[in-house]
């Protein structure tokens, strides 16, 4: 059985969703990863020490309410740790903050989003990358971000974009992938995020009620995470054996 480390980079502020689903970012990732046949271990990058001895076959980096470009000490330590894991050819998937942290760790840049995305938005997949196997090229996604990757790391390539965000996903080598959207979320969590940010959204010319009405349940996040397990982590473990 493959073992995946979930690097926790913060805690969700979605209190209703936590009560309804239980747990936090890492719990929601673990549900899908374990359902795909992987074992999981949680590493708290904010409060805990980063391990120096590896006992995992892949890494998933969670979202966070923090901003990568604030260069907080814990985040900079996590960035250096991630860069070392990538250099050792460990499969890594970054999600939202994890997407941005991966870009930063590998030499790219992040910053405030030119146009924010809070709600359910279509993302255009521009590659037949195996991370997106069995997914539609125009993919409905859950997005909650006010920051974004502004410059790709050297050697990375864009895998997806949206109307509001030119770098929705990127690849680095054959073992590192990152997505701006939240494959671990459900529709209820996105609606809660819209409700919490309603005043901010209205101030920016958005209709929070309309955004909430557009949100529906989709299975694609589960498929993406399963693809990471089967097509990146497991395949690399078999090759290494």
The answer to whether residue 96 is catalytic is yes
182 is known as an active-site residue? yes
Residue of 129, 132, 82, 79 whose CA lies nearest to 109: 79
Location of structure tokens 């790391």: 153
What DSSP assignment string belongs to 23-72?
Answer: S-HHHHHHHHHHHTT-EEEEEETTTSPPPSS---SEEEE---SS-GGG--
Give the count of beta carbons closer than 10 Å to the beta carbon of residue 77: 14
Question: In terms of Cα–Cα distance, which of 5, 33, 55 is closest to 230?
Answer: 33
Distance, CA of 151 to CA of 99 (rounded, Å):
12
Q: Which of 26, 85, 96, 234 is catalytic?
A: 96
Q: Which of 182, 192, 226, 234 is catalytic?
A: 182
Residue in 26, 85, 148, 184 annotated catalytic: 184
Catalytic positions are 96, 182, 184
């Amino acid at each position: 059985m493959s073992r995946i480390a979930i690097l926790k980079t913060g805690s969700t502020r979605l209190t209703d969703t936590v009560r309804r689903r239980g747990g936090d970012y890492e719990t929601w990732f673990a549900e899908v990863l374990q359902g795909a046949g992987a074992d999981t271990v949680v590493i708290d990058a904010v409060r805990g020490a980063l391990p120096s001895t590896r006992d995992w076959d892949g890494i998933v980096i969670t979202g966070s309410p923090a901003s990568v470009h604030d260069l907080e000490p814990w985040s900079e330590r996590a960035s250096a740790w991630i860069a070392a894991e990538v250099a050792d050819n460990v499969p890594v998937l970054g999600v939202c903050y994890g997407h941005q942290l991966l870009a930063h760790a590998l030499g790219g840049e992040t910053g405030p989003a030119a146009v924010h995305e809070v709600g359910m938005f279509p993302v255009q997949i521009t590659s037949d990358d195996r991370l997106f196997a069995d997914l539609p090229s125009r993919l409905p996604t859950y997005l909650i971000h006010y920051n974004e990757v502004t410059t790709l790391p050297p050697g990375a390539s864009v895998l997806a974009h949206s109307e509001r965000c030119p770098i929705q996903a990127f690849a680095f080598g054959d073992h590192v992938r990152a997505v701006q959207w939240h494959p671990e979320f459900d529709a209820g969590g996105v609606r809660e995020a819209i409700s919490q940010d309603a005043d901010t959204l209205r101030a920016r010319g958005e209709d929070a009620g309309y955004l909430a009405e557009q949100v529906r349940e989709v299975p694609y996040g589960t498929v993406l995470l399963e693809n990471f397990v089967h097509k990146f982590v497991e395949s690399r473990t078999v090759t290494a054996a």
